[in-house]
Amino acid sequence: MIGETLLPSEDLMETRTHLLRSYVFSHSINTTEVAAAYQADQSSIDPRATLINKIGEDGYIFIFNHGSVVFWNVSEEQQSEQLKRLLDLASIPGLKPRFSETFAVVERPGPAIVEFNRLLIERLSNDRMEVVASTLAQSTSMEYYESLVEESWSQVDSLLGKLRETGTLGVMPAPINKQIAASLSLRSSVIRVLHLLDKPDLICEDKVMDD
């Protein structure tokens, strides 16, 4: 679990920037198996879906059951080491290439503001850290699967375009059937992942984060 005290208690605080990077590294993972092998703590928001491990003084890794991981204030070298450590676990099928996104959280006085790749907020809490990491992980997963589906169906559209123009595909039916089956299978995989990408209940309880 993330430590009890994360932030200074002073009412006036200096601006502080946290750097985040998320990766999609698997279709899904069994967090129970990973927790035992990785010695990670379970989330206070959703213990079955999220694991957390501290790295260094102020770094964290958040591991999600939909196959994404978010690094919080972790160097690129350490990110590579941690990803390799995860992918070496037999229970996790790896994806190549790994899709990633970057994000920043800036603590400073004033109202919360959400920008394209940055969140400005007056004060972070442990639960808010988890919510931010979860939201970034879900966004990365959605973009990854959207790109896969778009690429797969574009290949089907190309075959259908040839059929419309010439009345023939120029290839045997088997490859066409395989491509269509692969696209439908991918769509089913995406649907299975989507049910894991629910809005954390804690967001509804935190007016700043819900806005």
CATH number (domain holding residue 43): 3.30.310.10
- Is residue 12 assigned to a domain? yes
Give me the half-sphere count of Cα atoms (radius 13 Å) on the Cβ side of residue 194: 8
Tell me the mean pLDDT in the region 122-146.
87
Tens digits of residue pLDDT in 13-37: 579 999 999 998 877 777 887 887 7
Percent of the chain exceeding pLDDT 70 equals 61
Query: 119 vs 68, 76, 170, 210, CA distance in Å?
Result: 20, 21, 52, 13
- Is residue 1 assigned to a domain? no
Query: Would you place residue 184 in the very low, low, confident or very high pLDDT band (cuts 50, 70, 90)?
Result: low
205 sits in the region (left: phi over 0; alpha: psi -120 to 50; else beta) called alpha
pLDDT confidence of residue 168: 65
Both structure tokens of 175: 């490859």
Q: What is the pTM of this model?
A: 0.72
Query: Would you place residue 188 in the very low, low, confident or very high pLDDT band (cuts 50, 70, 90)?
Result: low
- Is residue 74 assigned to a domain? yes
Please tell me the total count of domains within the chain: 1
